[in-house]
């Protein structure tokens, strides 16, 4: 099986025996999944794909007792997230473990030279091709706790947990702010608590889940990103709020559960590439997870082609807010039939 992504194509041509190595935060690539390594990732969708093939996987949020012959860190586009992974590996893998770092030039892989030097770790360049670079070092204890990457900030009168691996790290996203402005009227949230079952899909730092829980909703929050799930748990705890946070690839972990409302600021990027897949599934499958009369409320960049998806899934929709950058859409299932809506375009 030949490698599909540029970073894996660079690795494929190396003379190293990668059997038993730990692949850290890799992309989806058939070459990796056909090998004999193991996965360390915070991406639930990727972990599920590996598990379906009977391959070993681990999460950085669970106890990991590993001593692989080596590890390869796939450098992410977020430099701060790459630094966190490097610190995590230094803290959890045995000193002296060989580490290779691979990434695209456009993604900042050349910056690892300065990062490794600042940590007192040596580094040498192994190879470059396909606009990617491959570097090598050995892990050691560096005296920096990776948990130091967790920070917090204030928004909407609440304290939100934040991590470099979470969307909108350290700030309230403007699209989410626009969505929040529509929720009181759309969900009928007045002075009395609203004891509704609401799903926050793609929960990020937990701002929507916490905002809803504070107003009496029974909240379930999901995200495919383990960093986001952990951030939401920390946000709810920091504000003394109840709620359930689950790792889930869209609706995969929810079974047949149905909700009074689904709220979301869905992602449309996978690293630097535009990817409508998760948002498309969110919209198409939403009617099956809404109670009769339930509604989907989502915010998205105005240029994204969600109107056609909403029309196909619900038969209609309404635009609740539009500031030219972002739009808030609402679509509802009718009381009589969960496949039809009464909303208009």
Residue-level pLDDT at 335? 61
Q: Are residues 164 and 122 in the same domain?
A: no
Q: Is the residue at 341 inside a domain?
A: no
Residues 140 and 62 in one domain: yes
Residue 289 burial by CB count (10 A; 0-12/13-18/19+): exposed, middle or buried? buried
Phi and psi at residue 236, to the nearest 5°: -60, -45
- DSSP letters, 258-302, are -EEEEEE----EETTEE--HHHHHHHHHGGGGEEEEEEEEEEEET
The whole domain housing 125 covers 6-144
If asked whether residues 159 and 296 sit together in one domain, one would say yes
pLDDT at 194: 54
Q: Based on the fold, state whether residues 109 and 154 are members of the same structural domain.
A: no
The pLDDT score that the predictor gives to residue 195 is 73
Confidence grade of residue 63 (pLDDT, cut at 50, 70, 90): confident
pLDDT at position 274, please? 45
* Domain annotation covers residue 22: yes
Rounded CA separation 101/96 (Å): 15
Task: Name the DSSP class of 170.
Answer: T
Q: Are residues 23 and 55 in the same domain?
A: yes
pLDDT beyond 60 at 338: no
Whether residue 156 is predicted with pLDDT greater than 70 in this model: the reply is yes
Tell me, what CATH number does 164's domain have?
A: 3.40.50.150
At 268 the pLDDT is 64
| Mean pLDDT taken over the chain | 91
Dihedral angle at the C-alpha atoms of 330, 335, 339, 340, nearest 10 degrees?
-60
User: Residues 131, 157: one domain?
Assistant: no
Is there a single domain that holds both residue 112 and residue 194? no
If one counts the domains in the chain, the total is: 2
Of the candidates 128, 144, 160, which is a domain's last residue? 144
Q: Which residue has the higher pLDDT, 256 or 193?
A: 256
């Amino acid at each position: 099986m030949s490698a599909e992504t540029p970073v894996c194509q660079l690795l494929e041509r190396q003379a190293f025996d990668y059997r038993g190595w730990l692949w850290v935060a890799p992309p989806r690539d058939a070459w990796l999944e056909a090998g004999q390594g193991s996965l360390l990732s915070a991406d639930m969708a990727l972990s599920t794909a590996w598990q379906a093939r009977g391959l070993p996987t681990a999460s950085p949020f669970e106890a990991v007792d590993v001593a692989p012959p080596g590890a390869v860190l796939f450098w992410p586009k977020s430099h701060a997230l790459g630094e966190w992974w490097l610190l995590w590996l230094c803290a959890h893998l045995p000193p002296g473990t060989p580490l290779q770092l691979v990434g695209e030039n456009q993604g900042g892989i050349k910056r690892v030279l300065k990062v490794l030097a600042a940590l007192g770790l040596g580094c040498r360049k192994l190879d470059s091709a396909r606009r990617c670079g491959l570097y090598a070092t050995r892990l050691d204890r560096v005296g920096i706790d990776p948990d130091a990457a967790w920070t917090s900030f204030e928004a909407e009168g609440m304290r939100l947990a934040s991590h470099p691996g979470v969307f909108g790290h350290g700030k309230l996203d403007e699209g989410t702010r626009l969505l929040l402005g529509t929720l009181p009227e759309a969900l009928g949230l007045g002075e009395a608590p609203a004891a509704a079952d609401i799903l926050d899909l793609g929960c990020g730092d937990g701002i929507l889940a916490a905002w809803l829980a504070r107003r009496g909703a029974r909240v379930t929050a999901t995200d495919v990103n383990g960093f986001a799930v952990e951030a939401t748990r920390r946000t709810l705890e920091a504000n003394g709020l109840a709620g359930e946070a689950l790792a889930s690839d869209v609706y995969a972990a929810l079974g047949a559960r149905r909700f009074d409302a689904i709220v979301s600021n869905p992602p449309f990027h996978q690293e630097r590439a535009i990817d409508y897949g998760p948002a498309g599934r969110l919209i198409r499958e939403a009617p099956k997870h809404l109670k009769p009369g339930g509604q989907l409320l989502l915010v998205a960049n105005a240029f994204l082609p969600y109107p056609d998806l909403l029309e196909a899934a619900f038969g209609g929709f309404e635009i609740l807010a539009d500031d030219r950058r972002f739009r808030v859409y609402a679509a509802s299932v009718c009381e009589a039939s969960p496949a039809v809506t009464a909303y208009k375009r």
